[in-house]
Amino acid sequence: MGFARACSVALVGVEGVVVEVQADLEPGVAAFTLVGLPDKSLVESRDRVRAAVVNSGAEWPQKKLTVGLSPASVPKSGSGFDLAVASAVLGAAERIDPAMIADVVMIGELGLDGRVRPVRGVLPAVLAAAEAGYEQVVVPEQTAGEAALVPGISVLGVRSLRQLIAVLCDEPVPEEPADGQGRPDAMLAGLMIPGTGLGTGLAPAAARGDGHRPDLADVAGQLRPRQALEVAAAGGHHLLLSGPPGAGKTMLAERLSAVLPPLTRQESLEVTAVHSVAGILPPGEPLVSRAPYCAPHHSATMQSLVGGGNGIPRPGAVSLAHRGVLFLDEAPEFSGKALDALRQPLESGHVVVARAAGVVRLPARFLMVLAANPCPCGRHTLTGAGCECPPSVVRRYQARLSGPLLDRVDLRVEVEPVDRADLLGQGGRGESTEVVAARVRDARARAAERLAGTPWTTNSEVPGHELRTRLLVAPGALAAAERDLERGILTARGLDRVLRVAWTVADLRAADRTDASDVAVALELRTGIQRGVPMGAGER
C-alpha cells in the first residue's frame, strides 16, 4: 500500500482554506476515485491528471487509487488542484519522495500534455497558505510574480509537470519550448475571464488604447463640482452629481480615480486579491498599485453589483471597486433593488453574500459617485429648453434614488451647463490632475497623522461617536448643523457625515481644527443651500 499527501488551497470568495490532498494506492482493480466534496470541474481532474502524468513520461499506477480532499466539509471548485493531485499520486506510487511534497502547497491546472496552466486567485491562495504556516508553494510560471508578493514564502514557478518531477527528484530540469511568436499565449487564457476589462467599465473610457490619460484640466469650467471632487478624494466621501446631459458629470467621475493617492502595500494586496479571483488581473501586472475604477451599466443586476452567482458567490462591482471608485452613471435608471443593496457596504466597508453553498464576506470599501439627470429627458432644470415631462413623472424619476441611500451620500452638487466662454477656453484651463492630487495627498497625510493609533485612516471611516468625543471642533462650530438637525433637514447620520466633510475641508486648507466656516462649506455641499462662504477647499 502506498500513501502520500500534498497541499493546495480552496478559495471561498477571496479567502482561502488550505486543503490536504491525500492519495492512497491499494491492490485491486485499477480505478480512480476522488472524494471530498469536489465540483464538476474538479471531478474532471481525474482524466486531466492521468493524461498529464502519462505524457510527462511517468507510469500511471495500475491499482485502486483513492484521492481525498480534506477537510471534506469545505466545498472545492476549480482546476487549481490538478498539480497537487498529480504530485500526491506520484508520491504514493513512489515516483517521487512523499516527504518532499508533504508540506508544499501546489496550485495549478494541468493540460493533457503535462503543461502547467495558470489559474485565477493565486495571490489569495498563497496568502492563505502563508497564514497557515506554510513556507513553500509551487505555482505556474506565469503567476510566480503574483505569488512572490507574499512575504516569507518560497515560490517555485514551473512550466510543466516534467519540470516539477525533475526538481523534486534532484534530476536535470528539462527545457520546455515556448509557444510560437506572434500569437497570443494560450497559457494565459485561464487568467482572464472573456468580456472583462475595459469593455465592462473597469477603466475610464478615455484611457482606452490611444495613450491619452484623463486629466482634470480637460474639464471646462465646473468650479464647484471640481472642488467637490477634490473634497471627495481627500476624505473618501460619496458624491452625487446631478445636472442636464452634456454638462460633464461623466468626465468628472472618470478623472476621480487619478486624483486618489496611490494604494499602500496592504491596500494593493487587497485589491489584487479581489481582481485575481474575479479574473480581471492583467497578465504581466501582478500588483495593482492605482485605485481601481468600476462603472457598471445601469442594466446591472443586484448580483452583479454586490456579488453572487451559482455555487460560491463571486465578487461583484462593489468588490471590484474596493479602495477605488464605483461610478453609477444614470443612477435613477438602476433598479431600486440593486441600488438599495448598496446601503450595507456603504456603511460597513464589506458585503456579506449568503447562498445555499455558503456565506462569503467580500471587501467593499469604495468611493461611490452617482450621476443623475433631473428628469427622464434631462431638460427639467434648463430655462427655455422645452422639458415636457409632467411634474408627477419628474417626482417619480427623482424618487428612484431612495432617501436612505441619499442619506449616505456626503456631497450633492449641481453640475450646471457649460457656458460658451468656458467651452472655448476663454476662461483658461483649470488645474491639472497632478496639482489637485498633490493637495489630496497632503490632506490625507494630515488626516492619517491625526488618526494615528486608531483603525481609521480617512475622515469618512471615523464613527460618529469618535467624531463628537475624540475630535473636538471649535466652540460654536456646529451651531448651523444643529439648527438643520432640529428642522429635519439633517438626520443624525447626516450630522455625522457633515462633521466628517468639515474635517476634510479643514485638512485641505491645512488647518489643525475645524471651525464654523468648514461646517458651513460641508453643509452647503450636502444640502445645496447657499451658506455665504467661499467654496474653495483650500481658500478662505
Q: What is the 3-state secondary structure (H, E, C) of 482-510?
A: HHHHHHCCCCHHHHHHHHHHHHHHHHHCC
Q: Which of 231, 234, 329 is nearest to 535 (CA)?
A: 231
Where do we find the cell 453609477?
A: 328
> Is the model's pLDDT at 171 over the cut of 50?
yes
CB count within 10 Å of CB 385 equals 12
**pLDDT of 540:** 40
Q: In Å, how far are 302, 334, 367, 405 from 341, measured between CA atoms?
A: 7, 11, 16, 9
Say if strands 116-117 and 367-372 run parallel, antiparallel, or are unpaired: unpaired
Span 470-490, average pLDDT: 85
Task: Work out the percent of the chain whose per-residue pLDDT is above 90.
Answer: 58
Top-confidence residue, 21 or 381: 21
161 touches 109 (CB < 8 A): no
C-alpha torsion angle, residues 351, 356, 357, 363 (rounded to 10): 0
* pLDDT tier, 533 (very low <50, low <70, confident <90, very high otherwise): low
- Measured distance CA(506)–CA(520) in Å, rounded: 12
pLDDT in tens, 276-317: 998 888 777 789 999 999 999 999 999 899 988 776 778 999
**pLDDT of 206:** 42
Where do we find the cell 454638462?
A: 247
Using DSSP's 3-state secondary structure scheme, residue 23 falls into strand
Top-confidence residue, 528 or 298: 298
Lowest mean pLDDT among 43-57, 152-166, 364-378, 382-396: 382-396
Where do we find the cell 452638487?
A: 413
> Is the model's pLDDT at 123 over the cut of 60?
yes
Q: In Å, how far are 28, 118, 218, 258 from 212, measured between CA atoms?
A: 66, 32, 11, 13
Span 367-390, average pLDDT: 85
Task: Work out the percent of the chain whose per-residue pLDDT is above 70.
Answer: 90
146 touches 272 (CB < 8 A): yes
Lookup: cell for 47: 482524466
Lookup: cell for 512: 489643525
**pLDDT of 214:** 81
> Is the model's pLDDT at 362 over the cut of 60?
yes
How open is the CA angle 248-245-367, to the nearest 5 degrees?
A: 50
The DSSP code for 206 is G
Top-confidence residue, 437 or 381: 437
pLDDT in tens, 502-523: 999 999 999 888 888 999 999 9
Lookup: cell for 117: 496552466
> Is the model's pLDDT at 210 over the cut of 60?
no
- Measured distance CA(325)–CA(295) in Å, rounded: 8
Q: Which of 43, 190, 41, 42 is nearest to 117 (CA)?
A: 190
* pLDDT tier, 199 (very low <50, low <70, confident <90, very high otherwise): very low
Helix (H), strand (E) at residue 306:
helix 302-306
**pLDDT of 205:** 42
Span 467-490, average pLDDT: 85
* pLDDT tier, 208 (very low <50, low <70, confident <90, very high otherwise): very low
- Measured distance CA(237)–CA(411) in Å, rounded: 7
Q: In Å, how far are 102, 167, 257, 348, 482 from 161, measured between CA atoms?
A: 17, 10, 42, 44, 69
- Measured distance CA(248)–CA(468) in Å, rounded: 37
Span 436-446, average pLDDT: 95
Q: What are phi and psi of 154, to 5 degrees?
A: -90, 120
- Measured distance CA(403)–CA(412) in Å, rounded: 13
- Measured distance CA(264)–CA(112) in Å, rounded: 41
Using DSSP's 3-state secondary structure scheme, residue 351 falls into strand
Lookup: cell for 298: 445601469
47 touches 13 (CB < 8 A): no
Q: What are phi and psi of 83, to 5 degrees?
A: -65, -40
Top-confidence residue, 207 or 154: 154
Taking the complete model, does pTM exceed 0.85, yes or no? yes
Q: Which of 92-101, 188-197, 490-499 has the highest mean predicted lDDT (pLDDT)? A: 92-101
Q: In Å, how far are 187, 226, 258, 273, 349 from 437, measured between CA atoms?
A: 39, 12, 8, 26, 24
Using DSSP's 3-state secondary structure scheme, residue 418 falls into coil
- Chain-wide mean pLDDT for the chain? 87
pLDDT in tens, 77-114: 889 999 999 999 999 999 999 999 999 999 999 999 99
Q: Which of 473, 452, 462 is nearest to 518 (CA)?
A: 473
377 touches 369 (CB < 8 A): no
Say if strands 2-12 and 15-26 run parallel, antiparallel, or are unpaired: antiparallel
